[in-house]
Amino acid sequence: MANDRRSARTRWIVAGVACLAASAAFAQTPALQVTGSVAGPTEGTGQIQLSFSCSGSPTCTGTYSATLRDDGCANAFTLAGVLVLTGLDLSVPAALAGTAVLQNLHFNDIQNPDGTCSIRPGTLADTQLTYTGTWDGAAGTLLFTHINDSGVTVRIPGSIKATAARAPPFSMAVTATVTATTANAVATIQYPASDVGKTASVYVFAFAPASVVKSAARPAKDTTDGCQLAQLDPATGQLTAASASTLQPFLSNVLLGQSQAVTVLNNASTPTIAGASFFVGYGDSAGAMIGSGVNRSVVSIPGAQQCPSVFPATPGALSGLWWNPNESGWGISFTQRRNVIFAAWYTYDGSGSGKWYVASACEMASAGLRDGRCIGKLYEVSGPTFFGATFDPTLVRPVEAGDLQVDFSDPDHASMRYSAGGVARTIAIERQVFQTGTTAPAIDYTDLWWNEAQSGWGMAISHQFGVMFLAWFVYDANGRPAWYVASSCAVSGNGCSGALYRTSGPPAGPMFDPGRVHAEEVGSVSITFTDPNEGVISYTVNGVSATKSITRQVF
């Protein structure tokens, strides 16, 4: 029987902190990408090794990953999440001093009968640490300080270095004036050299509360009770609901090398657009512009309900979880962007263990289709042990394993033809409906999610009303592809939580017997979304607990 070993043990777990800033001019010092590492004692014989990356100065926001071995625990904790360092002024060589804001730094742990430890659910709590350090203009040192549960001050040393941060999709300067009655905003955008000369459309759109949006005929996927895609009608001054397929371009032309002024708001009535965030972006189509994230926030209008100033990089209409209802136990997740579908197929090997294949580039004839054929290569991937170890993306090895062809008759029905492992088969599939309702979510998190620094594993999220279905593809202790599902991750607030299962079943073949499928509960998982495109997963699998940052995978 597990017992509570001690109360409020300090842990280096960071989650759910975000910082957003708008550019005010083209000519400005670029944000810094700061990387660093710390290593040292926690309590008793406990040790931590942590690396991090953050952007900005003097407030630096980013993520970390860590391996923690706790005093008295046979296992190591693999941790990851988001961190914020304040007081990190790297503009000139100087001494450093500030705070590290850490969410869920403390928790009670449980020692399992086999000597391993796991986090007691519901005991996570926030904290804040202090640090001092030095900076010589290119590199420096940090010294984190905290008081452990025994009242002893523990100091953990580390080092940092900095480079220029990744640039936004395009440069933008904003001039805006918002009063209680009227709102004006102009975005002057500069296209990157790589896009100059291309023909594209520029779009002005909003993420706005449904209460200020005029209803219009649109797909249910684009309808929400909270924030929804909309455009401002210049004739009426009214926000009108839209979808990626109905957005009207501000202009369409060849992208030029000189800056271009785009009028976003022109004496708009502030009460009429209260709570809306306005964006400008460009692309071959509105779907490509949104799906690839080539857009930036221009201005947010204060309101009782405030919509985020980050627009979801939502995938195409064919995205989601698909299955054959007569063969419950296997499935395939599609993520559609432009004319490309990323397919992740969850099935079983000859021994009955779960395995997965991916078709990372199942291509269709043209962009934005809601029916038609996609054709691509299937790959089987091996990689590093996922649970209880630091993930090494250099160990990921894809091997071509076969072919995939999917013929979509509409956004909910298709025929899947595959050849893999010496087996060829054609089978009807359809979108899996696992939750119904009348009020669609304010933000649809259906997508393919990953950690960019740990390429090789991912999670396909299907979001329907108040439930998310998580299909998580990783690797077992022998490096073989393995998958887990949370078939009923109940939505609460800005995330979801639920039980995690591993299943066994018959291998893919001419026939599939669902009676041979068996599910075993192996732990739990929760997701906290920090904005529409970013989140943190926390999980316990077979006694191994950790957190990892995830983001929508844009391809």
The residue out of 110, 131, 164 marking a domain boundary is 164
In a domain, 500, yes or no: yes
Residues 158 and 180 in one domain: no
Q: What integer pLDDT is reported at residue 167 of this predicted model? A: 61
* Residue 227 · residue 442 · CB < 8 Å: yes
Residues 91 and 155 in one domain: yes
In a domain, 367, yes or no: yes
Residues 424 and 287 in one domain: no
* Residue 161 · residue 35 · CB < 8 Å: yes
Q: How many residues are given for the chain? A: 555
In a domain, 305, yes or no: no
**Number of structural domains, the chain?**
3
Query: Sign of dihedral through CA atoms 532, 533, 536, 537?
Result: positive
Give dist(CA 518, CA 497) in Å, integer: 22
Give dist(CA 424, CA 418) in Å, integer: 6
Residues 64 and 206 in one domain: no
Residues 245 and 350 in one domain: no
Closest CA to 432 of 330, 327, 322: 322
One-character DSSP codes across 500-547:
EEEEE-PPSSS---GGG-EEEEEEEEEEEEEETTEEEEEEEETTEEEE
Closest CA to 247 of 212, 218, 267: 218
Residues 284 and 143 in one domain: no
Residues 140 and 200 in one domain: no
In a domain, 225, yes or no: yes
Closest CA to 358 of 310, 305, 410, 418: 418
Buried b (16+ CB within 10 A) or exposed e, 459-476: bbbbbbeebbbbbbbbbb
pLDDT in tens, 110-123: 888 988 888 777 77
Q: What integer pLDDT is reported at residue 221 of this predicted model? A: 41
Q: What integer pLDDT is reported at residue 79 of this predicted model? A: 60
* Residue 65 · residue 51 · CB < 8 Å: yes
Residues 402 and 430 in one domain: yes
In a domain, 516, yes or no: yes
How does strand 320-323 pair with strand 153-164?
A: unpaired
Q: What integer pLDDT is reported at residue 80 of this predicted model? A: 56
Q: What integer pLDDT is reported at residue 83 of this predicted model? A: 77
- What is the residue range of 288's domain? 171-300
List of the chain residues with pLDDT < 70: 1-32, 43-45, 63-67, 76-82, 102-107, 124-125, 163-167, 216-225
One-character DSSP codes across 277-288:
EEEEEEESSHHH
Residues 268 and 320 in one domain: no
In a domain, 13, yes or no: yes
In a domain, 394, yes or no: yes
Residues 428 and 343 in one domain: yes
Residues 44 and 71 in one domain: yes
The residue out of 164, 189, 221 marking a domain boundary is 164
The residue out of 164, 186, 213 marking a domain boundary is 164
In a domain, 193, yes or no: yes
pLDDT in tens, 383-438: 999 999 989 999 999 999 999 999 999 999 999 999 998 899 999 999 999 999 98
Residues 143 and 180 in one domain: no
Query: Sign of dihedral through CA atoms 11, 17, 23, 24?
Result: negative
